[in-house]
């Protein structure tokens, strides 16, 4: 199947918000998603954006029955490792179920890797849930390694009231 991958622009936020929620449904975490199309527009497409995105599109003849031609996306931002320096972080990688198995996810991830290398990054980072075996297998097949298992690294979060309290001097 033909598909193309290009940089996301502000007009893609409606589709990204839709797919972001599809991904959350797949992960059974829709109750945790607090962001909207408007947040994506403001946070990704204003001055000093907090993230960047790419979208995968199929031609009109392959559109879904709901009429969607934007059928996959990745969000990423530049980050830093105090070991290897410049790094790129892939926050989301998603392809709609009916378009999986056609190399679109690989192409999206490859594009993120290209963008990272072009910016001088020496590492691509992301997180994955341990129950998502098909994704884990895919990532391992691409030469990725699990720092949680290998080095004992754990992902920590602080948010809400705890974050407010932490910010008190």
Query: Which residue, 62 or 77, is less far from a second copy as judged by CB?
Result: 77
Rounded to 10 deg, the angle between the 37-44 and 13-26 helix axes is: 120
28: left (phi over 0), alpha (psi -120 to 50) or beta: left
- Binding of residue 63 to a second copy (CB under 8 A): no
In the DSSP assignment, the letter for residue 109 is H
Site residues (CB under 8 A) for a second copy, limited to 133-152:
136, 139, 142-149, 151-152
Which backbone phi and psi does 84 adopt, to 5 degrees?
A: -110, -5
Residue range at the interface with a second copy (CB under 8 A); choices 7-15, 37-45, 59-67: 37-45
139 part of the active site? yes
Shortest separation between residue 69's beta carbon and a second copy, angstroms: 21
27, 129 contact by CB (below 8 A) = yes
- Binding of residue 130 to a second copy (CB under 8 A): yes
Q: Which helix (H) or strand (E) holds 16?
A: helix 13-26
Beta bridge partners of 86: 80
Shortest separation between residue 155's beta carbon and a second copy, angstroms: 4
Q: 3-state class of 90 per DSSP? A: strand
Query: Which residue, 65 or 168, is less far from a second copy as judged by CB?
Result: 168
Shortest separation between residue 81's beta carbon and a second copy, angstroms: 7
CB atoms within 10 A of CB 47: 4
39: which 2 tokens?
Answer: 């947040």
Interface residue with a second copy, options 97, 122, 133, 137 (CB under 8 A) = 122
- Binding of residue 104 to a second copy (CB under 8 A): no
- Binding of residue 47 to a second copy (CB under 8 A): no
- Binding of residue 126 to a second copy (CB under 8 A): yes
What residues are labeled active site?
Answer: 139
């Amino acid at each position: 199947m033909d598909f193309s991958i290009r940089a996301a622009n502000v007009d893609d936020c409606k589709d990204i918000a839709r797919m972001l929620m599809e991904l959350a449904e797949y992960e059974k975490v829709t109750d945790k998603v607090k962001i909207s199309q408007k947040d994506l527009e403001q946070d990704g497409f204003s001055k000093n954006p907090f993230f960047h995105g790419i979208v995968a599109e199929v031609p009109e003849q392959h559109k879904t029955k709901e009429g969607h031609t934007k059928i996959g996306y990745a969000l990423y931002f530049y980050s830093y490792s105090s070991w290897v320096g410049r790094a790129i972080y892939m926050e989301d990688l998603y392809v709609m179920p009916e378009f999986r198995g056609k190399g679109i996810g690989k192409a999206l991830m490859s594009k993120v890797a290209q963008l990272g290398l072009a910016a001088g990054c020496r590492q691509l980072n992301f997180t994955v849930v341990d129950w998502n075996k098909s994704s884990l297998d895919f990532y391992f097949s691409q030469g990725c390694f699990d720092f949680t298992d290998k080095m004992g690294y754990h992902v920590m979060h602080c948010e809400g009231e705890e974050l407010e309290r932490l910010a008190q001097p």
